[in-house]
Amino acid sequence: MRPTPIMTGIIVVAVPVGILGVAAMMPWLSGDWHWVEGWIFGICWASLIAATFLRLCYKDPALLAERLRLPGTGGESRADMAILIGIKMGFLAWIVLSPLDVRFGWMPRLPLWCEVCGGILLVAGGFFMFRALADNTFASQLVRIQTERGQHVIDTGVYGFVRHPMYLGADLVSVGGALLLGSFCGLLVALGIVGLFVLRIFGEEMLLARDLEGYRSYREKVRYRLIPHVW
């Protein structure tokens, strides 16, 4: 079901307000409303969420409904459900601890060159996350075979670059965001999130190779899981 004119009007008002609200969370938690890095990250992150939601809402409502499924509702394994919950809790901790680290100085601030590199990684990660959802209508947050939607292998777009571009994007956003914010504490949490994504890839690929027709051939075509020429 596509949005009605009334819903469209609500979205037009709610999206800018939501972007500003989410963007303000970082400076608020840091206790410094003049914290430029916090505003940059907040606006970039909120804009990515808004752009992704709007695209799915208007272009792929079936994927939006799939993405909104709660862990445990898709018949996925308990192990994967635990990993997914761990990733979500890790990102929540990342969002809170990064600005608090800046506020209370728990760990030394990262240098300016790290912040610049972090900004570049953040933008790159946002691109991969957005394109992964645009290129793959089966990009569920749950590791399951969507037989009711006729799931098949997607090997074009960013899925011709690496086999898990969504995870690549999320990793870049987590690490890049921590670097941009200058938070060493946030960087440690981000590395933990990366570890959970790597762990999830093993189980996900076992399921796809076993139950999704054509995935074994796809693995031969696109050799790298996450990082080209590395892994």
Q: What is the pLDDT along the chain (231 residues), one digit of tens a residue?
A: 555 555 555 555 555 666 677 778 888 999 999 999 999 998 888 888 888 888 988 899 999 889 888 888 878 888 899 999 999 999 989 989 999 998 998 988 899 999 999 999 999 999 999 999 999 999 999 999 999 999 999 999 999 999 999 999 999 999 999 999 999 999 999 999 999 999 999 999 999 999 999 999 999 999 999 998 898
Distance CA 45, CA 53 (A): 12
Options 1.10.260.40, 3.40.50.1370, 3.40.350.10, 1.20.120.1630; CATH for 5-221 is 1.20.120.1630
Is the whole-model pTM more than 0.75?
yes
Give residues with Cβ within 8 angstroms of 167, minimum separation 6: 197, 200, 201, 226
Domain boundaries, the chain: 5-221
Residues shown for the chain: 231
CB contact at 8 A, 50 and 18:
yes
Pairwise CA distance, residues 178 & 188, whole Å: 9
